[in-house]
Structure formats: C-alpha cells, structure tokens
C-alpha cells in the first residue's frame, strides 16, 4: 500500500547568465494555495535590462511566497515554495522520533545535490557550482594593534603598510571578484587586487576599495597613527541614517536605472570621448519622408519617420568608413573591427533608458529597416524588450530631437565606438542658392571613442551622414 505524501520544492531567482546578480519582483501571478503546473508563469521580475516573466519548472500547490512585490532579490535566493506530491516509497518518511537525529548534519548545506539550473530563458542542467565567495568580515591589522595613547608619542610607530596583510583574503589560485573597469583601474594604479579588502556586496572589490588601498600605500607612516585616531572617533557615527530636508523624496537606485548609471560611469571614465557637431539642411529629407508616407511604398503598416532616413544614412556612412564600427578590447590589447552593424536605438521607457539594437542592420533594405525600427520602438514602449535585444550593439543613434532639443554630447554605450545624436528639425534662415530663405535645419552630434577613432575618421563619418541627409538621393548612388 502506498501513501501519497507532500514535500516542499523551492524555486530560486533564476540566473539569466549575463552577469546579472539581482532582480526586482514586479508582480506575483499566484498566491499561497494556488495550484501551479510545469511551465506556468508565476511572477514577473525586472532585471537591470528588462522585465521578464518566470515560469516554474514543476507541478504542485503554492505553499509560500518568500518576498512581496517590489522586493529586490539576489540571484539564487528562494522566492517561492511549492508542495509537490510524491510516493511513500520514494519519500521514505522516517518515524517522528528519528528525524531530529538527522537534522543537525551540516553536509547538505556544504554539498548540494545536482539540480536543474533555472535560467530566465528556459531551463538547463547544472554545469558547475559557480558559487560566490562569501564575504569575509575581518578586522584589519591597524584596528587590531591600535596603540595605547602613550604609543602615539613614541618615536617609532608601527610600519605604515599594514594593508598588505589581507593578501590572505583570496585563496591561492582564486581570482578576486571585481568588475572589468575596476580591474583596469587597479592595473593603472599598480594595485594587486589580491591585497585589497573588498567592501562591496558578496565580496566584490569596488573602485573605492582600490582608491583607498592605493592611497594607503602612498601615504607616509606618520599619518597612519592619525588615521587610527580618526577611525576611533568616526566609528560611532556610522549607524546614523541619511538626513533629508523637508520635502525630499528618496528613490531607491535599482533595475534599469542602476544598470544605466553603472554603464554610463564605466563608459565616461574608460573611453576618452570626443564630440563633433554639424548643422545640416534637411529640407529634401523631410520632403522625401512625406512622399514615402503618402505613397505607401514601404508598406501600409510601416512607420516612416526622419529617424529612418538618419539610420539609413549612418549605415551608408559606415559602409564607406567601416573603422567606425569597431570595439576596443582592453584585455587582448586589440581593436576588433565588427563584421556586421548592430544598430542601437536609445529608447526612453517608463522603466528608464534602454538601447535595444537591430541585428545586422547594414544588410537590410530601407523597407526592412523601417519594419525592424517600428517593431523595436513598439516593443520598447510596451516594456517587452528582451535582454538578447539589448546585447551585441556596435553603434547607436539617440533621437534627442523628439524632446525639442537641438543637440547634446551623448555618452557612448559601453563597448561601442560611436553614438550619433539627432536633434530637433527647425525652420531657420539658411543660405540656399545664393539667397537667405527659410529651410528645415537640424544639428547632428557624433561622440566617439578617441582610442580607436581618430578625428579624421569621426569627421568623415559625420560629414557623410550630413551630406546624405542634405541630398537623400545619394543613398542610392553611395549605397
């Protein structure tokens, strides 16, 4: 005789496999007591790149939701527990008295059994225990050997470089946890990351950690004693909460905003930006757009806009100057000339700025480009852009003109060599055929990474885009 028993299975926040470490739970689609089936969507989460619906990989009854909506959860943390049915023979339930004897065994916590690895897109087998190294909370040598008041007057204080002691923080053969920009900073400053004590989450070394270590190494011995005294005074103030003036509102930095901030800081302080500007008469381009709309040549449901012609002009300029479609590989010390153009379009969404891209945009016809551009914009507005759509971009256009802005100095999307800003189209006095007449004029701005794009190359690309917009017929002869 078999008896049906129920056991709990836990569903953890999946790993998208793209370096993301956390996600915010936007909404739950189930509640305790609900029955769920394999593949059923149980919640929607927002990562740093997109909103994603999570399906559960087994059947059962929801026992507990571990986090409320709006909570930010680390990848690998249990978010929902489900009671699943099983056989008595398989479960082999022991007598109640026998259970306590086996509970204290710590082995399962150290060596978890292999299980299916949940990812945001489907499921797959666990390939290895890519476990984060737990952050060690150690007391620094300076704090441990704080001298008595009389020792401050002593003529021979302890040597200053007490910081190298944390070298033992990282076991031999294990690589310190740090992001690429932090590794580059450490390399530039001559800092061995193994000697740096991490203060970031999960033992990750931050830029501040590197700067603090470098400053400590450069400081003379005497100030170390003063630093000890300052630390002793400053420590009690640490728990104080930040003070806000009346009317201030504090908004948590998370999701797309957090990812955007990190990307922009990394780009601005890694790639030396140069921005060039040009004003151009786009009267003929605007007439061309109106004719395409009226004729329906590109399709009745295809959205035609000036941005479409700007995109085509940039793609044509890249064909003439492929060096602009490149990437700087710091680790390999190489410039990577990209084989195809993945054209990013900066899009403002309710969740923040995202930059999805059109894959292999350079091979598309004007009609195909218009269709892809329309789909990209609509998907972004609906908040349905997938992480894959925002990966692999090689060059970007930002249409600041829709906000009535003439131009700007756009910051490069990390990993790209250039970004083009398309400003507002305005009717301005312009010299045309020897006379000052009203013409439709816009301003273009091209920012580029001066490590791999020289001023000559950047200028030629920008000049070509301007020339194509001034006379769009050139799209045929130059394409």
The tens-digit pLDDT sequence of the chain (479 residues) is: 555 567 889 999 887 555 567 888 888 999 999 999 988 989 988 876 677 888 888 899 999 999 998 888 888 899 999 999 864 444 444 444 444 444 444 444 444 444 444 444 333 434 444 444 444 444 444 333 444 444 444 444 444 444 444 443 455 456 778 776 677 777 777 888 888 888 887 788 888 888 788 777 765 443 433 333 343 444 444 555 566 678 888 888 877 778 778 888 888 878 899 999 999 999 999 999 999 999 888 887 888 999 999 999 999 999 999 999 999 998 899 999 999 999 999 988 777 788 999 999 999 999 999 999 999 988 888 878 888 888 899 999 999 999 999 999 999 988 999 999 999 999 999 999 999 999 999 999 999 999 999 999 999 999 999 999 999 999 999 97
Q: How many other β-carbons are positioned within 10 Å of the β-carbon of residue 258?
A: 16
- Looking at residue 178, what DSSP letter applies? B
Active-site choice (66, 211, 321, 450): 450
Q: What is the DSSP letter of 166?
A: G
Strands laid side by side in the 41-46 sheet: 51-55, 41-46, 22-28, 72-74
Residues β-bridged to residue 60: 36
273 is catalytic: no
H/E stretch holding 397 reads strand 395-398
Considering Cα of 249, then 253, then 258, then 264, what sign does the dihedral take? positive
Dihedral angle of Cα 108, 114, 115, 118, to the nearest 10 degrees: 100
Integer Cα distance of 3 and 163 in angstroms: 62
* Interatomic CA distance for residues 413 and 438, integer angstroms: 36
Task: Tell the burial category of 146 from Cβ atoms under 10 Å away from its Cβ (0-12, 13-18, 19+).
Answer: middle
- 444 - beta bridge partners? 278, 422
Exposed/middle/buried for 431, CB within 10 Å: 0-12, 13-18, 19+?
Answer: exposed
d(CA 107, CA 345): 51
Contacts 24+ apart (CB under 8 A), 84-89: 84/6, 84/7, 84/8, 84/9, 84/58, 84/59, 84/60, 85/4, 85/5, 85/6, 85/59, 85/60, 86/4, 86/5, 86/6, 86/7, 87/2, 87/4, 87/5, 88/2, 88/3, 88/4, 88/5, 89/2
For residue 354, what are its two tokens?
Answer: 């995202």
pTM of this prediction?
Answer: 0.56
The tens digit of pLDDT for each residue in 38-68 reads 889 899 888 766 778 888 888 999 999 999 9
- Kindly report the number of other CB atoms within 10 A of residue 320's CB atom: 13
């Amino acid at each position: 005789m078999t008896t049906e028993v129920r056991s709990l299975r836990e569903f953890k926040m999946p790993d998208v496999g793209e370096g993301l470490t956390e996600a915010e739970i936007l909404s739950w689609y189930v509640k305790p007591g609900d029955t769920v089936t394999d593949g059923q969507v149980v919640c929607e989460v927002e990562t740093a790149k997109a909103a994603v619906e999570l399906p559960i990989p087994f059947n059962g009854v929801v026992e507990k939701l571990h986090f409320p909506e709006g909570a930010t959860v680390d990848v690998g943390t249990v978010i929902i527990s489900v009671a699943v049915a099983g056989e008595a023979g398989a479960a082999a339930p022991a007598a109640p008295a026998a259970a306590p004897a086996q509970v204290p065994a710590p082995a399962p916590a150290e060596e978890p059994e292999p299980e299916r690895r949940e990812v945001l897109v489907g499921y797959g087998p666990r390939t290895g225990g890519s476990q984060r190294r737990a952050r060690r909370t150690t007391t620094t040598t300076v704090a441990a050997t704080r001298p008595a008041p009389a020792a401050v007057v002593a003529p021979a204080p302890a040597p200053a470089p007490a910081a190298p002691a944390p070298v033992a923080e990282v076991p031999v053969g294990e690589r310190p946890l740090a992001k690429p920009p932090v590794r580059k900073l450490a390399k530039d400053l001559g800092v061995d990351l193994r000697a740096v004590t991490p203060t970031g989450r999960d033992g990750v070394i931050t830029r501040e950690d590197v700067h603090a270590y470098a400053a400590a190494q450069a400081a003379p011995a005497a100030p170390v004693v003063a630093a000890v005294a300052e630390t002793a005074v400053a420590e009690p103030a640490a728990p104080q909460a930040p003070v806000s003036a009346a009317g201030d509102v504090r908004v948590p930095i998370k999701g797309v905003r957090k990812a955007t901030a990190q990307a922009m800081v990394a780009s601005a302080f890694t790639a030396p930006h140069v921005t060039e500007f040009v004003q151009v008469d786009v009267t003929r381009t605007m007439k061309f757009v109106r004719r395409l709309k009226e004729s329906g040549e590109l399709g009745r449901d295809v959205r035609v806009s000036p941005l479409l012609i700007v995109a085509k002009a940039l793609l044509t300029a890249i064909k003439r100057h492929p060096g602009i479609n490149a990437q700087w590989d710091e680790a390999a010390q190489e410039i990577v000339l990209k084989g195809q153009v993945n054209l990013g379009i900066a899009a403002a969404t309710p969740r923040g700025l995202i930059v999805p891209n059109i894959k292999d945009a350079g091979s598309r016809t004007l009609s195909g480009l218009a269709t892809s551009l329309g789909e990209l914009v609509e998907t972004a507005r609906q908040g349905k852009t997938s992480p894959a759509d925002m990966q692999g971009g090689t060059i970007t256009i930002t249409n600041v003109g829709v906000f009535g802005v003439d131009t700007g100095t756009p910051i490069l999307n990390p990993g790209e060599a250039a970004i083009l800003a398309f400003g507002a189209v305005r009717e301005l006095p312009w010299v045309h055929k020897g006379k000052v007449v009203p013409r439709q004029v816009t301003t273009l701005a091209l920012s580029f990474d001066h490590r791999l794009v020289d001023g000559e190359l950047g200028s030629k690309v920008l000049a070509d885009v301007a020339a194509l917009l001034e006379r769009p017929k050139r799209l045929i002869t130059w394409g």
